Structure 1
Amino acid sequence: MATEVACRILGVDPQVMLETAGLGELTPGRSEARVTAQQYFDCWNTMEVLSPRPDYVPYLGVAISRGPVIPVFFTLSCAPDMETGLRRLAQFKSLLGPTVMRVFRDGDLLRLEYESVDARVPMPPSLGALQLVVAVENIRGATAHLVCPVAAGFDGSDEERHMIAGHLGIMPERSQAAYVAFAPEDAKRRFISENATLWADVEADLKLQLAAQNDRLPIADRVRGALVDLMPAGRTGAEDVGLALGISRSTLQRRLREEGTSYQEVLDAMRRDLAIRYLTKTSLRADEIANALAYRDANSFSRSFRKWTGLSPLAFRQADNESSVSGESG
């Protein structure tokens, strides 16, 4: 959950947040750069203080789940059932911040636990609460069912626990671990959003994103991995990618030239491939796709898509649907 996206949802100025958190040397454009777990949690605590909303945790959790397209969440929604999706999500949870997600059986119950990646730096209680809200909200969206956990807890005050109790459908207990547990019948509940073909593509992208910091990979692959993370936050500039990879813009462009390509070519190819994926394998609207690909608006996205394919996004989707129906009839 990128800090800049969270700031926008909460109505907090990202630069003010960074300065208040003692990270004024970073610009909002560097919010994807590597920081320590403590610095990340300092940002979260600062957003909490600056947020004008008293219900910031459930509000942010619902907005993240229903709002911007975040590729990591496809790990859950594309799965055939809750348990499979949660176990997939746990593999890539580190892409959302310095937290670890564990999924395991606790007797008959399916239990999720969240903690800091650094045992010396505890996760803020309210961030633990956010994890619970996001998990429950995503599960409800994927099942089209008002799934309620049978148990939950985090190390929060009475006020913080009451803040999310109404959303969870259960009063979380005061516990050192941030956790949520589901009944066995819910753990195997089928997802209406299951999408095996989309998952195959998304899994490859997320693995590439995890490997984006590996200096031994071709720079074009590292750029694509970084863009998977940056685009939902509205960042597609060469400077943004260079900062995320820890190299200068000029070095990035030089290394891409050495591989026979350019930054714009990599960005266009990435956007084209993702656009076609979303149009043919999801029901996302054109404006939602435009936002996911960091376009200014749907018209800008449509112009680019026509240049790539000769068709508008809607016409391309209709043609694909007709082709699928024709193939099934044959």
Structure 2
Amino acid sequence: MNTEPTYSLFMATDVACRILGVDPVLMLETAGLGELPYGRTELRVTAQQYFDCWNTMEVLSPRPDYVPHLGIAISRGPVIPVFFTLSCAPDMETGLMRLAQFKTLLGPTLMRVFWEGELLTLEFDSADARVPMPPSLGALQLVVALENIRGAAAHHICPVAAGFDGSQEERRMIAGHLGIMPEHSHAAFVAFSPDDAKRRFISENPALWSDIEADLRLQLAAQNDRWPIADRVRGALVDLMPAGRTGAEDVAFALGISRSTLQRRLRDAGTSYQGLLDATRRDMAIRYLTKTNLRADEIASVLAYRDANSFSRSFRRWTGQAPSSFRQTLSHSQFQDPESK
């Protein structure tokens, strides 16, 4: 039985290709993965296959500033729940420590956070020691991390040092964004001063973090067949919904079982697929409405609805209120109730 770790292609096919204007089907074919059915974003690949995709996107990208453009767009564009680990934190050090726990949900990249002397250092490497991470992907990690940190701190933080395994031209490409010229190093890294490491984040949200952490642990558990089937289904849904996939067949495929086996196991557990889908969407919708400033259309997208109207109809069925009314009622109640402050 093959037990080699696998990773979701969502960030490559559904996020990066769209941002760069690269045809995902052509990308997969050029990377030697043409047999993979495009659109099955629940499909998981090995680290080598994942890195082959990233190298291919670099070749196919029509933009010479591929790395900084993609990094900034990822950070400012689609809602990616894993990044809440950073933005909900009270400060940079705490947020990076949290993010490191769940980084492999986005691909085969290990993230290490440690103090080296007086500098807080963030280091990225391949999750598979046999397969080196492409230099361009290392550079991308630095840009995405710094962009998310700056957004959470509402401050133009500049690192003290940085580096990755790229040519001088590749390193110069992201120097302007980093604020320093990265050095040539085997591992991709970026280091921050003690003051910046402890700088408070204006986006701190402990209430949202407790829920997001539970969701992300379910995503990790989805790949562990020793967990209860209901938890695995919810974890798979949290993983798949941003890609617009909520079908029972999609979830079964992601869990490595047939649809009939999935339905039978859920029946034996006293639940149903539709019931779990509704409960997962309802819980996440209430969380985003009460604990974030996301618009209804953004929440609808995260929950894999066609549009905000479809989401609103479902929310009315669950709660008897429109999403906007629900949010306004709660805000008014908290404003009136001094105990809630």
TM-score range, shorter chain: over 0.9
Taking only aligned residues, the RMSD between alpha carbons, in angstroms, comes to 1.4
Check the 8 A contact 1:90/1:103 in 2, yes or no: yes
Q: 1:140 pairs with 142, 150, 165, which one?
A: 150
The equivalent position to 2:219 in structure 1, one of 187, 200, 209, is: 209
TM-superposed CA distance for 1:200, in Å, is 0.6
The reply on whether 1:254 has 2:259 as its aligned counterpart is no
Moved more, 230-239 or 133-142: 230-239
- 1:1-330 equivalent positions in 2, closer than 5 A: 2-4=11-13, 5-328=15-338
Percent identity at matched positions? Answer: 80
Q: Is the 8 A contact 1:113 1:177 kept in 2?
A: yes
| Deviation by residue 1:103-159 (Cα, 9 ceiling, x = unmatched) | 000111110000001111100000000100000000011000001111110011122
Partner of 2:4: none
**Contact 1:98/1:117 (<8 A) preserved:** yes
TM-score in terms of structure 2 length: 0.93
Q: How many equivalent pairs are there?
A: 330
Q: Quick one: distance in 2 between partners of 1:56 and 1:296?
A: 30
Q: Deviations over 1:56-113 (max 9, x none)?
A: 2111111111111111111101100000000111111111111100000011111000
Using the TM superposition, give the Cα deviation of residue 329 of structure 1 relative to its aligned residue in structure 2, in angstroms. 6.4
- Using the alignment, how far apart are the partners of 1:210 and 1:79 within structure 2? 20
The one-letter amino acid of 2:334's match is S
**Whole-angstrom CA distance in 1 between matches of 2:91 and 2:249:** 40
Distance 1:64 1:285 in 2: 18
Structure 1: 5+ residue stretches without partners: none
Q: Distance in 2 between matches of 1:25 and 1:229?
A: 23
The CA deviation at 1:323 is: 1.3
Which one-letter code corresponds to 1:69 in the other structure? V
**Whole-angstrom distance in 2 between the partners of 1:24 and 1:314:** 44
- Residues 99 and 115 of structure 1 are in contact (CA less than 8 Å); yes or no, is this contact kept in structure 2? yes
Structure 2 unpaired stretches of 5+: 1-9
* DSSP 3-state at the match of 1:191: coil
Letter aligned with residue 3 of structure 1: A
For residues 274-312 of structure 1, give each alpha carbon's deviation from its aligned partner in whole angstroms, at most 9, with x where no partner exists: 010000001111111111111111111111111111111
Contact 2:41 2:243 in 1 (8 A): no
